[in-house]
Chain A
């Protein structure tokens, strides 16, 4: 713990210094530098979710010299975190009233639905770029390429399912869409608060930072974020999946002992 607490500001400082170094040296290939305050999120017994800070810097001069943009040209940053990478299909079920009771009548299996999706932009999305740009880069939940595994429905019905996925995910606090969630501290430095909810799945997540100027993406930076259980929680989780039968038997034996111990403790003389 102390080690992490020590390294956190150190890593942050290093990243910002790197960012400044880049801006000072006008490296044409790198016009954007960004990093998360932590690249590994450890899920421990007191994990209740986490707030990460994504910070970075853009190089205005580089952008000027390479793209010939004037000083007044808009610069926007969009941040996306999604994952985990080992995505599995999900079933979306639709309820209808049958004889007064709500019943799941239809279901569609969808592929390409991230378990978690966070997007933040420095301004209103509509002001930053065209919807075509967003669609191509899977920016904003409605542009995620969520497709049915075996499609038998028309596009209109499928879209009802897609909006339902987004609505459910937002309610479960697994999808976030924050206009203005990226704030500029000055002309070059920016930061965004990223919410990692307690119900997040473990795995490797990908972070993408887009630098957009006058509606065109001029730079993209990708990073990975590792969300993992540690210590006791990890051991239990791995035990349950690696040797499930033994895990089940042990859980029962433990329950038997606990029940027996309690009845002994409360035994009447």
Chain B
């Protein structure tokens, strides 16, 4: 008994100690915030092109280094980036060094390792690895071009070129396309299936819901967070749960687990959307709507410029729905009436007749 009492006292003291430390905290979280990223919109002024592009370091060969935070064999978002780089590099006779599943905490070291291996272009596949950017200022990366995708969360520096798209635009349009299918089927319940419950997935769900409600105002969205973008078993379990709840259109906003979940949806006659790439040609699994916002498509344009020696550092390219070829949304089946409505919506977004941010705020909550 005495032992228990002593142990309880020790635990109490420990909790009190932690409590005292917690209560002593007085600095606001924002006190350590990083500087605001560059303002939205293209910024091509003040950029510079490195001499000798694409052989930036002048060693007689062109090497592209790609770092991806995700699985580079996920048949989707992350793989598209590497596939595009590989396709382009092969066509030009360049070498590519690709490294997937890079831990964001290891991003800086991974980028330095690429520079030490004399790559001419360091390409980050997603903004999760943005903490690698300080390496671009270091001597080891002096003769290297940098390509960085952003979700408005990357600060512009003279050493990097940024590629930005607005997830609100593509996800709102995806929701709009899903809404059109739901309207045609006469249903009002949709599903959104994703991995961890973090800012980019919750924002995507909000935008998707807002898009659906632009067409079906009383629509409801069943959102499931499996906790893992690549866990097929969890994704299938969540898809089954959504099907059981009667949803007829589901967006598997996943990475490597998207195919497994979509196959289950196919078997139950549930319509699905692609998480980033054009897979209208795929029959197993089969998708009903392709939502194109893959980083590979944006990267291909940058590689074209790089090959021509025109990729500018210190600038930002903003990809606009309805203005640029990507992002965009397309229906896989031939449904002219629906296609016409969808194209008109996309054109309106491009012409800024629709304020996507305001619509998401209005209908997405």
Q: Answer yes or no: do A and B interact.
A: no
Q: Which residues of B contact A (CB under 8 A)?
A: none
